[in-house]
Every structure is written in C-alpha cells, then in structure tokens.
Chains A and B, each alone.
Chain A
Amino acid sequence: MKCQEAAQLISRGMDEHLPWWQRSSLRLHLLICDACTNFSRQVRLLGAAVRRLV
C-alpha cells in the first residue's frame, strides 16, 4: 500500500466502517510507516481540537 492510498483510508475510516481487508492492509502499512502514523494522529487531533472550539 502506498502512503497516498493509506492517507485516504485513514480519513475514510474515521467516518465509515472499512471492510476488513482494507483495515488489515492499512494496519500493516501503519506498522512500518511513521509518516502515515503521524498523519493518522494529526487528523484525530484535528477532530478533537475542532470539538473544543465553540
């Protein structure tokens, strides 16, 4: 899996349920990719931050 595809799946996975094969290949990618792991944390943090704004 390429980072480009992983980033899209990370975002989609926050809004809908991904099929198991996508989840497992994404999980494998995240094990070896710091950049996408950081991306995943960043977009989660964005969500948490937006919920703090009034």
Chain B
Amino acid sequence: MESDAALEDLDALFDATGHWREPPQEWPEQALENKQFLAALEECLRRLPARTGQVFLMREHLGVETTEICKELSLTPTHVWVLLYRARQALRECLRMTGFGAKA
C-alpha cells in the first residue's frame, strides 16, 4: 500500500519557516512547443507512483472532476487533493532535475 496520503515528504521542499528551498523559476511559455520538454514530462509521469500518476492523468489529461475521481477510485476528497498536489510537485521537481526551470 502506498503511503501517499501524507504530505511529510513534500515538507522537504520548504524550510522550517515555510519558504521554498528552491524557489520555482519562470518556465518559458514555449515549453509547450518544445519536444524535449514534452518527452521529459512523459518520462517524469512514468516515474510517479501508480496511483498518483493515475489520479493526475484522470484530472489533467481527461479533465475528470475530483468528485468523480473520488467515486471512481473510492478515495476521500482529501486523499485526491493530496495526490494531485504530490503529482504536481513531483513533476516539477523531476523536470527541474532534467534541466527545466533551472536558472538560465
């Protein structure tokens, strides 16, 4: 069972005062047209824990409402929003590691 309903591991993104350790940088809007960016994103999606990736794709790729996701997967609303938040943070971090969003 994935222990994915907690936010503890995401706390590492922030310092004790709640500030970003690595403040997000500006991404170029053209990233959407950038094949490398899209390929890196696909790879990062594959690295997400199964349930996290499933919920994120249902929401963002298929546009399913969170209430529907809860029903479909028998998850609580809190669990769903935590999974979506985790997915977004994990994808950003993964893309940052591959060189996107680093200081130019």
Q: Is the CB of A49 within 8 A of B81?
A: no
Question: Which of under 10, 10 to 19, 20 to 34, or 35 or more describes the interface residues of B?
Answer: 35 or more
Residues of chain B contacted by A46 (CB below 8 angstroms): 41, 60, 88, 91-92
Give the size of the chain A interface in residues (CB under 8 angstroms): 28
Contact A49-B14, Cβ < 8 Å, known A35-B20, A38-B24, A42-B92:
no
Q: Is the interface of B mostly helix, strand, loop or mixed?
A: helix
Q: Is the CB of A53 within 8 A of B41?
A: yes
Instruction: Name A42's contact: one of B24, B80, B81 (CB within 8 Å).
Output: B24
Sample (24) of A-B pairs whose CB atoms are under 8 Å apart: A2-B19, A4-B18, A4-B19, A7-B13, A7-B89, A11-B81, A11-B85, A15-B81, A15-B84, A16-B66, A34-B23, A35-B24, A38-B23, A38-B25, A41-B26, A42-B27, A45-B29, A45-B31, A46-B91, A47-B60, A50-B56, A50-B57, A50-B60, A50-B61
